[in-house]
C-alpha cells in the first residue's frame, strides 16, 4: 500500500529478533491498523530496537517525549518510573498465565495505566504480550537447588527485582542487555542466564549453553506502551481501531507463545541441551517473608492489595 497519505506515522520498537515470538504479531497488528484506517495510521515495526544503542529507560524517555510512538518491554524495567510495575517480575507469585492475565487485563492493569499516564506513557489495555515463565540456563552444570547457584555469574535484565532475587539465591547477578547475551556466554564472560524457552530458542542460546534447569521462578512478558502525546492526538475512532487490533493480535501472540514454550523443551533437547526440573522449594526458602515485605513496601499497599486479590496472601 502506498502510504504517502498517512496522517499519523510512527515507530513501534521492540528488542527481540525478527524471528521471534513477538515481531510477527506486532507486524500483523500494525498492518491491520493500516488497512482498517485506509493508510491513515502507518506504524513501522523495528526489531532489535531498530539498532538504537540506548538503554530501555532511555527509549522510554524518548517515547514519553513523543520521539518514539510505541515500545514493547518488560514491566519491571519501568520500576524506576512506577514502582508498582515491579510486580510483573516478582518471583514465585503467579501460579499460571491465568493469574497474570486476570490481573494485568483487569484491575492491576488499570492501576498501572493511571500511574504511567502521569509519566507521559499510555499503557495499552490487553497489550501485554507473552514471553513465558523463566528458567535458569547454564554452561557448566545443572541447577538442582538454590545451593547450586552459589557464586554463579548469571545475566539478568535491567531491574531491581532481578538483582534482589538472585542475590537472595546466592548468585552473582550481572545486568546485561539481552542482545549482548549470546556473545557474553560464548566467550565465557558469564556462566548462566535466565529466560523463557522462547528466548533461548530465538537467540540461539543452545549454541553457547548446555543445561536448562526448569525453575519457573518468574513470569515475563512485554507491555505495549505508547507515547501519551501521540495517543491523545489520535481521534477516538482511530484509537478504537488500534485497541481492537491490540486485543486481537496480542491474544493470538499469547496463545502461540504458550504453545511454543510447551514444544520447545523437546526441540531444544534435540539441539543438545540437557533439561532437568529443579527443586523450587529451596529457592522459595531463600526468599522468605522479609523479601516480600520489602517489595510490598516498594510497590505500595494499593497495588499489593490488588495483586493479592488474585493470587492470595503473600506476606
102-132 pLDDT, tens digit per residue, is 999 999 999 999 999 999 999 999 999 999 9
Same domain flag for 239 and 292: no
Same domain flag for 55 and 27: yes
Same domain flag for 239 and 278: no
Domain that residue 99 falls in: 8-131+221-263
Cβ count within 10 A of residue 60: 24
**pLDDT 10s per residue in the chain (315 long)?**
455 689 999 999 999 999 999 999 999 999 999 999 999 999 999 999 999 999 999 999 999 999 999 999 999 999 999 999 999 999 999 999 999 999 999 999 999 999 999 999 999 999 999 999 999 999 989 999 999 999 999 999 988 999 999 999 999 999 998 889 999 999 999 999 999 999 999 999 999 999 999 999 999 999 999 999 999 999 999 999 999 999 999 999 999 999 999 999 999 999 999 999 999 999 999 998 899 999 999 999 999 999 999 999 987
pLDDT for res 178: 85
Same domain flag for 304 and 171: yes
Cβ count within 10 A of residue 125: 17
The answer to whether residue 139 sits within a structural domain is yes
What is the Cα–Cα distance from 265 to 314, expressed in whole angstroms?
30
- Sole residue written with cell 498517512: 6
Same domain flag for 71 and 169: no
pLDDT for res 4: 66
**Over pLDDT 70: what percentage of the chain?**
99
The answer to whether residue 1 sits within a structural domain is no
The answer to whether residue 244 sits within a structural domain is yes
Same domain flag for 189 and 297: yes
pLDDT for res 1: 46
Same domain flag for 153 and 279: yes
Q: Do the beta carbons of residue 30 and residue 67 sit within 8 Å?
A: no
198-220 burial code (b ≥16 CB/10 A, e <16) = bbbbbbebbebbebbbbbbbbbb
The answer to whether residue 285 sits within a structural domain is yes
- Which whole-number Å values give the CA distances from 269 to 1, 8, 190, in the listed order? 43, 46, 22
Same domain flag for 280 and 250: no
CATH label of the domain that carries residue 14: 3.40.190.170
Please report how many Cα atoms fall inside a 13 Å half-sphere around the Cα of residue 65, on the Cβ side. Answer: 7
What is the Cα–Cα distance from 250 to 70, expressed in whole angstroms?
15
Same domain flag for 127 and 229: yes
Q: What's the pTM?
A: 0.94
The answer to whether residue 245 sits within a structural domain is yes
Same domain flag for 214 and 225: no
What is the Cα–Cα distance from 270 to 162, expressed in whole angstroms?
30
Same domain flag for 122 and 18: yes
Task: Report the domain count for the chain.
Answer: 2
pLDDT for res 315: 72
Mapping DSSP to helix (H, G, I), strand (E, B) and coil, where does residue 312 land? coil
The answer to whether residue 2 sits within a structural domain is no
Same domain flag for 228 and 214: no
Residue 278 is classified by DSSP as -
pLDDT digits (tens, 9 = 90+) for 152-210: 999 999 889 999 999 999 999 999 988 899 999 999 999 999 999 999 999 999 999 99
The answer to whether residue 3 sits within a structural domain is no
The answer to whether residue 39 sits within a structural domain is yes
What is the Cα–Cα distance from 127 to 250, expressed in whole angstroms?
6
Amino acid at each position: 500500500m502506498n502510504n504517502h497519505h498517512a496522517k499519523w506515522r510512527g515507530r513501534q520498537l521492540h528488542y527481540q529478533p525478527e524471528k521471534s515470538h513477538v515481531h510477527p504479531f506486532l507486524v500483523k497488528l500494525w498492518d491491520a491498523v493500516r488497512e482498517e484506517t485506509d493508510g491513515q495510521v502507518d506504524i513501522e515495526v523495528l526489531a532489535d530496537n531498530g539498532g538504537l544503542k540506548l538503554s530501555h529507560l532511555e527509549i522510554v524517555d524518548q517515547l514519553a517525549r513523543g520521539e518514539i510512538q510505541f515500545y514493547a518491554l518488560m514491566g519491571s524495567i519501568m520500576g524506576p518510573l512506577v514502582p508498582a510495575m515491579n510486580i510483573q517480575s516478582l518471583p514465585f507469585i503467579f501460579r499460571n498465565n491465568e493469574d497474570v492475565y486476570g490481573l494485568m487485563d483487569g484491575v492491576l492493569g488499570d492501576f498501572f495505566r493511571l500511574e504511567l499516564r502521569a509519566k507521559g506513557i499510555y499503557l495499552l489495555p490487553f497489550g501485554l504480550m507473552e514471553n513465558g515463565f523463566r528458567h535458569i540456563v547454564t554452561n557448566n552444570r545443572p541447577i538442582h537447588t538454590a545451593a547450586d547457584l552459589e557464586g554463579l555469574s548469571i545475566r539478568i535484565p535491567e531491574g531491581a527485582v532481578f538483582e534482589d532475587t538472585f542475590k537472595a539465591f546466592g548468585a552473582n547477578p550481572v545486568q546485561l542487555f539481552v542482545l549482548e547475551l549470546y556473545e557474553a556466554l560464548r566467550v565465557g564472560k558469564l556462566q548462566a542466564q535466565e529466560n523463557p524457552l522462547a528466548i533461548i530458542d530465538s537467540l540461539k542460546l543452545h549454541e553457547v549453553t548446555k543445561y536448562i534447569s526448569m525453575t519457573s521462578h518468574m513470569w515475563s512478558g512485554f507491555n505495549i506502551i505508547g507515547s501519551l502525546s501521540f495517543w491523545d492526538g489520535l481521534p477516538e475512532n482511530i484509537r478504537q481501531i488500534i485497541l481492537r487490533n491490540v486485543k486481537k493480535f496480542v491474544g493470538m501472540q499469547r496463545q502461540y507463545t504458550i504453545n511454543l514454550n510447551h514444544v520447545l523443551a523437546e526441540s531444544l533437547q534435540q539441539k543438545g541441551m540437557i533439561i532437568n526440573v529443579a527443586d523450587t522449594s529451596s529457592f522459595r526458602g531463600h526468599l522468605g517473608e522479609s523479601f516480600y515485605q520489602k517489595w510490598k513496601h516498594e510497590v505500595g499497599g494499593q497495588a499489593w492489595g490488588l495483586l493479592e486479590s488474585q493470587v492470595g496472601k503473600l506476606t
